[in-house]
Structure 1
Amino acid sequence: MDATSRTERTPSAYPYPLLIRHMLERAVSDHPASLIVYGQTCHSYRQLRERVGRLADALAALGVGRGSTVGVMDWDTNRYLECFYAVPMMGAVLHMVNVRLSPEQIVYTINHAADDILLVNVEFLPLLERIAGQLRTVRAVVLLDDEGKAREADLQGLRCAGEYEALLSAASPDYLFPELDEDTRATTFYTTGTTGLPKGVFFSHRQLVLHTIACQLALGAAAHCRLDKRDVYMPITPMFHVHAWGMPYVATNLGLKQVYPGRYVPERLLKLRTEHGVTFSHCVPTILQMLLMSPASATTDLSGWKVIIGGSALPAALAKSALERGIDVVTGYGMSETCPILTVAFLDEDMLSWDLEAQARQRAKTGRPIPLVQLRIVDGAMNELPHDGKSAGEVVVRAPWLTQGYLHDPEGSERLWRGGWLHTGDIGVIDPDGFLRITDRLKDVIKSGGEWISSLEIEGHILRVPGVAEVAVIGVPDERWGERPLAFVVPSRPGAVSSEEILQALRRAAEAGEISRYAVPDRIVFLEEIPKTSVGKINKRALRERYGAA
């Protein structure tokens, strides 16, 4: 840029960097009495600000400062929300440790992120005692206990600095947070991909502020599933998974009452929904299905509950079931690398008069980009494909909040960003109305008889068959056809559906031209449970490893 075209600033002018601290200060100023609930604890936003100051003061006493990394192993609690603010506001990095990874992967992520301090829920003490000797950078551990008690633990030489609430009680709420560059790294999270070691993604203050503002704009302008200051918020996406999709920052900005559920138990979630009048949540499809199938659901009024579904494809049949219970359900799309939200399938005003089946199909699409997101579908040469609802290509994106690379992985970072666009690895089509529909993952597309087959489309048709609770489809090697689809089905109850009923439904779909004839599997495998990743996604890699060679 020509130096003469830059905006001039007098030396005394404050440049106002986009910092997490500025979001919290405004939220507390505007909504000091709003409440944050976890279990038997209830704090106001004014108390949240005091506790954030106390946490920062306590961490500083343990040597945390600019450039330090603080790892957190906890369920969805008020403590995690306090960490979302205190750690980045100090100029340190918050590492949200995925507690559902294997012990070996947890060790890898803590060492790779170079965590200095670990905050650990006492429920994970047996795990911590098992891995403590392998942690190379951790200097001290703070225990998180709902009962506020000191605990004995064999941490293999690691210093136990005390219990969280005791440390906060002894600390000052007046910690002076430093001025920071808005590009200072604020958070780190590790992807839960099904291949190789977890990859570290990272986000700056600027990125998190812009993601928060864009999500707030998109949700506030929607014709339905709208989020505003009258809502009561409860996350049902782990806070260790990409900042619970960034929604706690949005909820705090709006001054909402927030309810944190700890561990996810369907009956408890439904009870909290009723007790606190929860109106807005987000979760993966498997959690939504668990809620709808829970015996407690039959006696719980679910009407008026606005729920964004992400993490994996929302089946239209599941969307319709939710709509029939009065849940305003809609798909959101993103990934760990994208902070994560890119699109939401908000319906236009006229679409809300459609019948439930038509609405369910539209709500199950991937949606339109939220503000500041550029999204394309491209072929292998990065040529843009028509928005005709038929031409399928890889989804590539740009937005201010996308991870700028993988932590300590320059080669992987360049592959992610080849051509100057972030490659999602998803295949999709865009219709003339601008709605994106993901048709498959690049690695999950099945090539059979010279045709590309979408595993997601087959799954969608199988889910419409009565008696099917859950389904996953993978490609397995075939000497004649190259690959053939293999379907795994969990019935709603033993004997609820037969292989022939499923295959007949798929043959009818093929005859009607809805799917290719090559898409009809040769057989159906019934399972009691389909393997999942640590965040509840179907783990097709595990299925391929177990059944692919059979």
Structure 2
Amino acid sequence: MKCIPIPRTESAHDYQLLIKRLLLHPIVDAPDQEIVYRDQVRHSYRQFRERVQRLAAALTRMGVKPGDTVAVMDWDSHRYLECFFAVPMIGAVLHTINVRFSAEQILFTIDHAEDDVLLVNSEFLPILEQIRGRIDTVRDFILLKGDEPHPHETTLTFTAEYEELLASTPPEFEFPDFDENTRATTFYTTGTTGMPKGVYFSHRQLVLHTLGVQAALCSSVVQGCLHRGDVYMPITPMFHVHAWGLPYVATSLGLKQVYPGRYAPDMLLELIEREKVTFSHCVPTILHMLLKHPHAAKIDLSNWKLIIGGAAMSQALCMAALGHGIDIFTGYGMSETCPILTLAQLTPDMLKLSPEEQAEIRCKTGLALPLVDLKVVGEGRDEMPRDGRSTGEIVVRAPWLTQGYLKDHKTSEKLWEGGYLHTGDVAVRDERGYVKITDRSKDVIKVGGEWISSLELEDIIAHHPAVAEVAVIGLPDEKWGERPLALVVPKPGTVVAEKQIQHHVREYADKGMISKQVVLLRTRMVETIDKTSVGKINKVALRERYVY
């Protein structure tokens, strides 16, 4: 196909989509807006810009060059936000280290990413002490003083302390222009086997993701709308997919931002109340923890808009949140997708439905964002009917998807087989275009030749009044192939028997709401359910513990 490129005037500027462009509006139009860290720090956007310039100048003086990698180990903080901008804006790569990985996994990611500089919160020094003699690439360590009253002893030698480094460096720094396809960030995601896999994103991808999320959130008529009057606080780690990319969105809009540091329910609720937080995002386990806290019943949460992602939200949890007046809805994506692909926002007509009917929609995976080409396909790669029943795998194209796994060509080709990124998520799509994940392809349970959704079964069990948490996995069975095993954490002070759970589930089966094969359900009461480093139910660990 022959296309005609536009003619270019010799003097015309070749405008590249760089992360520095996201600072144009807030620094000019909202310089006095606040960025808050816990109950300790308040900076204006004007000060934020100066601190970003100081950090960029300091790193450059230390010898950081375009293409070098600067890693960060910190809680969610104003300093992390400064790194989100300063590091990629000088042409370097920001590696956001998952501090919940094991010491060996962290060592692997540092070496695999070839980190040159490492900024580390003093609270994580014991981790580095375990691996310090085996870190081969890092030439400079910068200390971020933590919030703990008694700093950890360390044998590491630091080039500088973060605040002293910024204070000693003038704020004059001119950020260069360069190719928008330059790699900006790298982080690592855990798989079912082996060491973590590195995903990476360019400036262009991060800017387009920011604009796509803005278009979806800011164009909503009523529900889940993000606007310039909102106060933003992430409750998703900044090391995990750039805190879902929302800090870039909030900064580009010039919103007041609140960073909570280490996640403690009393501090989170205090910040929501004191700073008038109106927009956040988190995984279901964090919300469950917050709603259980005694302080949650004493504060007004009715102005709080909350995206739930990272794991499926049960309708029981959704109803509990709605009972507090929280405007809650689902967002969907994965580490490889930057991450947001869909949002389950409601139309004005949907808001007229009963809370139960609304909850069903709010718990869906939602509608694809602008620029997202999302399909639900069968085994032959044909798109499945939009009838709310026909299941298939979600495959996707969008301008912000990782182009592969770092230094792993074979797995990258498998991820992108056929020219679409394969999510591994099994879903249905209704006539309105709303997607609903029914399971991970590897988590579907096949009982006597019939597929059972572990997510659907978890949601049903979660409705039992004595159940605090639940995870469902498949048990090998000689007769049936597999049968479901429900691992149940009872609510404090309650006693629930296996027969009660089975009777509860059977009622749904009798109504035709789930396959009658669930009568083969086995139930086990447990004290805790294993989670991954980002708060998802760790079904790999659960299978290793209870199946093999």
TM, length-normalised to structure 1: 0.97
Q: Does the 8 A contact of 1:148 with 1:163 survive in 2? A: no
Cα offsets for 1:12-66 (capped at 9, x unmatched): 1111100101111332112111110003111111111100000011111221110
**Partners of 1:228 and 1:234 in 2: CA distance:** 14
Cα offsets for 1:397-426 (capped at 9, x unmatched): 010000000000000100000000000000
Partner residue, 1:89: 89
Task: Return the offset for 1:522.
Answer: 3.6
**Partners of 1:355 and 1:241 in 2: CA distance:** 35
**Partners of 2:114 and 2:471 in 1: CA distance:** 37
Provide closer, same or farther for how the CA distance between residues 146 and 542 of structure 1 changes in structure 2, counting only shifts above 3 A: closer
**Partners of 2:276 and 2:494 in 1: CA distance:** 38
RMSD value, Cα: 1.5
**Partners of 1:419 and 1:522 in 2: CA distance:** 38
Task: Return the offset for 1:275.
Answer: 0.6
Partner residue, 2:416: 417
- The reply on whether 1:22 has 2:34 as its aligned counterpart is no
Partner residue, 2:503: 504
Tell me which of 154, 160, 165 is aligned to 1:167.
Answer: 165
Cα offsets for 1:514-550 (capped at 9, x unmatched): 111212344211111100000000000111001113x
Partner residue, 1:437: 436
- The reply on whether 1:106 has 2:111 as its aligned counterpart is no
Cα offsets for 1:61-110 (capped at 9, x unmatched): 22111000000000000000000000000000000000001111111111
Q: Does the 8 A contact of 1:487 with 1:521 survive in 2? A: no
3-state SS in 2 of match to 1:179: coil
AA at the equivalent of 1:338: T
Task: Return the offset for 1:196.
Answer: 2.2
Q: Does the 8 A contact of 2:122 with 2:152 survive in 1? A: no
Superposed, 1:498-537 pairs within 5 Å as: 498-537=497-536
3-state SS in 2 of match to 1:5: coil
**Partners of 2:153 and 2:323 in 1: CA distance:** 49
Partner residue, 1:304: 303
AA at the equivalent of 2:333: G
- The reply on whether 1:214 has 2:224 as its aligned counterpart is no
Superposed, 1:248-327 pairs within 5 Å as: 248-327=247-326
Task: Return the offset for 1:176.
Answer: 2.0
Task: Return the offset for 1:150.
Answer: 12
TM, length-normalised to structure 2: 0.97
Partner residue, 1:459: 458
The answer to which of 138-147 and 90-99 deviates more is: 138-147
Equivalent pairs, count: 546
Provide closer, same or farther for how the CA distance between residues 144 and 406 of structure 1 changes in structure 2, counting only shifts above 3 A: same
Task: Return the offset for 1:494.
Answer: 4.3
Q: Does the 8 A contact of 1:283 with 1:309 survive in 2? A: yes
3-state SS in 2 of match to 1:476: strand
Superposed, 1:36-115 pairs within 5 Å as: 36-39=35-38, 40-115=40-115
3-state SS in 2 of match to 1:66: coil
Task: Return the offset for 1:193.
Answer: 2.9
The answer to which of 258-267 and 192-201 deviates more is: 192-201
Superposed, 1:119-130 pairs within 5 Å as: 119-130=119-130
Task: Return the offset for 1:493.
Answer: 1.6
Task: Return the offset for 1:10.
Answer: 1.7
The answer to which of 452-461 and 491-500 deviates more is: 491-500
Q: Does the 8 A contact of 1:466 with 1:497 survive in 2? A: no
**Partners of 1:149 and 1:112 in 2: CA distance:** 34
Provide closer, same or farther for how the CA distance between residues 271 and 192 of structure 1 changes in structure 2, counting only shifts above 3 A: same
AA at the equivalent of 2:395: V
Task: Return the offset for 1:499.
Answer: 1.5
Provide closer, same or farther for how the CA distance between residues 64 and 153 of structure 1 changes in structure 2, counting only shifts above 3 A: farther
3-state SS in 2 of match to 1:187: strand
The answer to which of 35-44 and 436-445 deviates more is: 35-44
Q: Does the 8 A contact of 1:231 with 1:257 survive in 2? A: yes
**Partners of 1:334 and 1:201 in 2: CA distance:** 14
**Partners of 1:151 and 1:353 in 2: CA distance:** 54
Residue segments in structure 1 that go unaligned for 5+ positions in a row: none
Task: Return the offset for 1:302.
Answer: 1.1
**Partners of 1:25 and 1:134 in 2: CA distance:** 42
Tell me which of 184, 195, 198 is aligned to 1:197.
Answer: 195
AA at the equivalent of 2:335: S
**Partners of 1:468 and 1:350 in 2: CA distance:** 33
Cα offsets for 1:465-520 (capped at 9, x unmatched): 11111000000111111111100001112434222111001111111111112123
Partner residue, 1:356: 355
Q: Does the 8 A contact of 1:129 with 1:153 survive in 2? A: no
AA at the equivalent of 2:81: L
AA at the equivalent of 1:61: R
3-state SS in 2 of match to 1:444: coil
Task: Return the offset for 1:353.
Answer: 1.1
- The reply on whether 1:394 has 2:396 as its aligned counterpart is no
Task: Return the offset for 1:194.
Answer: 3.6
Partner residue, 1:7: 6
**Partners of 1:193 and 1:164 in 2: CA distance:** 33
Cα offsets for 1:204-246 (capped at 9, x unmatched): 0000000000101110111311100000010000000000000
AA at the equivalent of 2:450: E
Q: Does the 8 A contact of 2:25 with 2:254 survive in 1? A: no
The answer to which of 22-31 and 180-189 deviates more is: 22-31
Superposed, 1:174-189 pairs within 5 Å as: 174-189=172-187
**Partners of 1:148 and 1:508 in 2: CA distance:** 51
Cα offsets for 1:333-361 (capped at 9, x unmatched): 00000000000000111010111111111
- Percent identical residues: 60
Cα offsets for 1:153-209 (capped at 9, x unmatched): 544xx6411100000001121122221100000000111334321110000000000
3-state SS in 2 of match to 1:201: strand
Q: Does the 8 A contact of 2:116 with 2:140 survive in 1? A: yes
Superposed, 1:225-240 pairs within 5 Å as: 225-240=224-239
AA at the equivalent of 2:374: L
3-state SS in 2 of match to 1:359: helix
AA at the equivalent of 2:323: E
Provide closer, same or farther for how the CA distance between residues 344 and 225 of structure 1 changes in structure 2, counting only shifts above 3 A: same
Task: Return the offset for 1:151.
Answer: 7.1
Task: Return the offset for 1:152.
Answer: 8.2
